[in-house]
Amino acid sequence: MEEHFVWVTTRRIQPGTLEDVERAWRPATRPQGMRRAFAYWSEEGDEITGVSFWDSKEACDSWRASESELRRRAAMAPYVVAEREDFCRGRELGIPGGTPD
């Protein structure tokens, strides 16, 4: 099975700032080594989780240390109350019954 390299960040944000965070969150250009990225919001709109898939841990670390990422985080900072992040490795689960597509 193919191994995935994933960066997950969950941010609790100030109420009513979801659209502001979403605008600030998008990088100006596609980070080198990023394969895909997803964003998930809580029903209340006060928590947002980003999940990005990378070619390698080194590619993710390189982006995280970049000037572009520092600017992106600074743009989000006024809206963020708390943040939790982690780099993970894993693979797709084999779920009985095929794919849901």
Task: Evaluate whether the domain defined by 3-90 bears CATH number 3.90.1150.10.
Answer: no
Distance CA 46, CA 18 (A): 7
First-to-last alpha carbon distance for the chain, in angstroms, is: 19
pLDDT in tens, 37-47: 999 999 999 99
CB-neighbour burial class of residue 46 (10 A; exposed 0-12, middle 13-18, buried 19+) = middle
More confident residue, 53 or 22: 53
Best CA proximity match to 68, nearest among 30, 18, 22, 17 = 30
Residues 54-94 have pLDDT tens digits of 999 999 999 999 999 999 999 999 999 999 999 999 888 87
- According to the model, what pLDDT value does residue 97 have? 79
Identify the pLDDT of residue 65: 96
Check residue 28 and give its pLDDT.
80
Phi-psi region of 98 (alpha: psi -120 to 50; beta: other; left: phi over 0): left
